[in-house]
Amino acid sequence: MPSFPSSPEVAVIGGGPTGLIAAEVLGRAGLAVTVYDQMPSVGRKLLMAGRGGLNLTHSESFERFVTRYAEAQPRLQPLIEAFRPEDLRAWCEGVGQETFVGSSGRVFPRAFKASPLLRAWLARLEQLGVRFALRHRWQGWDEDGQLVFTAASDQTVRVRPAATILALGGASWPRLGSDGSWVELLSQRGIAISPLRPANMGFTLVWSDLMRSRFEGEPLKRIAMTFEGTTVRGEAIVTADGIEGGAVYALSARLRDAIERMGAATLHLDLRPDLAEEALAKRLSAPRKGQSASTFLRKSAGLSPVGMALLREASPSLPSEPDALARLIKAVPLTLTGTKPLDRAISSAGGIPFGEVDDHLMLRRIPDVFVAGEMLDWEAPTGGYLLQATFATGIAAARGVLARLGIPDAALTGGLSSATRQT
């Protein structure tokens, strides 16, 4: 690790993956780094995300990968090119956590959960001399330009670092620390901010009493969903007031925007995406031989009880003609009436537009203050794209600090990754 006669002090505000990776880059360059976080411990949302398996990134081609960021692709692509999915895997393995590619192409740590990775990461940061000031809530700046924090004892703490990285996340899961309170603080300084909206969230729709009472919590497996010409395969789950799950999240941005424009959106659900409509109609043409409708649909179409219930939600009197019934099974209409609230979303859309920051992610209106992660105005589906961009922007902001201070970059992992190669 390089050392300097007088190491500049840098404040990183936010102890999620964005702030931690920024602190690591700065610590490796020999800076005196303090990570401030309002919670009693760091990485809480990371731990929550990893409860069902920590999806680090995705193994698909880079060309396909970067399209997942939609309108933000032009600004995010160079940052992700500097820290690609393979670099994230190498970094993870560099802290002793082997990775593997799942059947869907998603990348996970071999331990699957987030806690072993976080423990190893914090141990590395401690070795680099990174300090943590927990239970410190950021209150903005005072009249002299110092950062102001309220500590746990209600004591006011003021610091004047050489540079600051803001990595405060969006506004989903506020109980884990990402509460969006920074919006007002930056708005007061003239920073334009796009309204924070839910992303990767569930949707509301009106179920019948029977559907709600009998099938709440039931999974929909091996399905496909189509909206505005885009089809995704995956799974979903019925909730008391709607639907959510991976397949829904993949379409959530388009669905949300349509609901905002028109007040509702109709999503079509294919209960048998592995079977062509013609082949399904042929199966449904078989004699029923006294079977009930439920038994016939289970045997002929392979439908689960929740699938049959969805058919009856759309058409209480099921079509008797095989072709019409096959069409319904392949495109069950679900009219979504609203989005689940922001505090229940997996991530946030909106935030600080890229026009408010320079190429190093420094705020144009507040020199020496950099922004990274979900505070920036971008969104992506689940599948590893969220964490990849939070890491990449955290590294980009840290490198921006080093460039601003005229300090050489340093290797991020045991081997030199593309994130830290000199160009």
Contact 296, 313 (CB under 8 A): no
Backbone phi, psi, residue 228, to 5°: 50, 45
List of domains in the chain: 9-198+348-405 (3.50.50.60), 203-339 (no CATH)
* Res 408 pLDDT > 90: no
* Res 327 pLDDT > 80: yes
Range 147-153 average pLDDT: 94
Give me the percent of the chain exceeding a pLDDT of 90: 90
H/E stretch holding 211 reads helix 209-215
SS3 at position 156 = strand
Q: Where residue 415 falls among pLDDT bands split at 50, 70, 90?
A: very low
DSSP 339-362: EPPGGGSSEEEEEB-GGGB-TT-B
Contact 366, 188 (CB under 8 A): no
SS3 at position 133 = strand
Range 292-306 average pLDDT: 93
187-200 per-position pLDDT tens digit? 999 999 999 999 99
pLDDT at position 49, please?
86
pLDDT at position 173, please?
87
Token readout for 300 is 């002929």
* Res 136 pLDDT > 80: yes
Tell me how far apart the alpha carbons of residues 352 and 341 are, in angstroms, rounded to a whole number: 20
pLDDT at position 420, please?
42
pLDDT at position 50, please?
82
205-231 per-position pLDDT tens digit? 999 999 999 999 999 999 999 999 999
* Residue 248 falls in which region: left (phi positive, over 0), alpha (psi -120 to 50) or beta: alpha
pLDDT at position 418, please?
47
CB atoms within 10 A of CB 228: 11
pLDDT at position 411, please?
62
Residues 6+ apart with CB under 8 A from 118: 43, 46, 47
Range 267-288 average pLDDT: 96
350-389 per-position pLDDT tens digit? 999 999 999 999 999 999 999 999 999 999 999 999 999 9
* Res 395 pLDDT > 80: yes
6-62 per-position pLDDT tens digit? 678 999 999 999 999 999 999 999 999 999 999 999 999 999 988 889 999 999 999
pLDDT at position 2, please?
44
Residues 6+ apart with CB under 8 A from 396: 79, 82, 83, 360, 361, 372
pLDDT at position 226, please?
98
Beta bridge partners of 197: 349
Tell me how far apart the alpha carbons of residues 421 and 411 are, in angstroms, rounded to a whole number: 8
* Res 414 pLDDT > 50: no
- Look at the pTM and tell me if it is higher than 0.85: yes
Tell me how far apart the alpha carbons of residues 262 and 243 are, in angstroms, rounded to a whole number: 19
Give the angle subtended at the CA of 403 by the CAs of 187 and 136, to the nearest 5°. 45
SS3 at position 16 = coil
pLDDT at position 3, please?
43
How many angstroms separate the Cα of 348 from the Cα of each of 129, 173, 295, 342, 373? 32, 10, 43, 7, 11
Tell me how far apart the alpha carbons of residues 39 and 405 are, in angstroms, rounded to a whole number: 29
Beta bridge partners of 333: 268
pLDDT at position 51, please?
84
Strands 9-13 and 32-37 come out as parallel
* Res 153 pLDDT > 90: no
* Res 412 pLDDT > 50: yes
Residue type, 168: L
Tell me how far apart the alpha carbons of residues 68 and 76 are, in angstroms, rounded to a whole number: 11
Q: How far is CA 211 from the centre of its chain?
A: 30
pLDDT at position 6, please?
60
SS3 at position 121 = helix
Q: Which residue intervals of 16-157 are DSSP H helices?
A: 17-28, 44-49, 62-65, 73-82, 85-94, 115-127
Mean pLDDT of the chain: 94
What letter would DSSP give residue 11? E
Q: Where residue 416 falls among pLDDT bands split at 50, 70, 90?
A: very low
pLDDT at position 298, please?
94
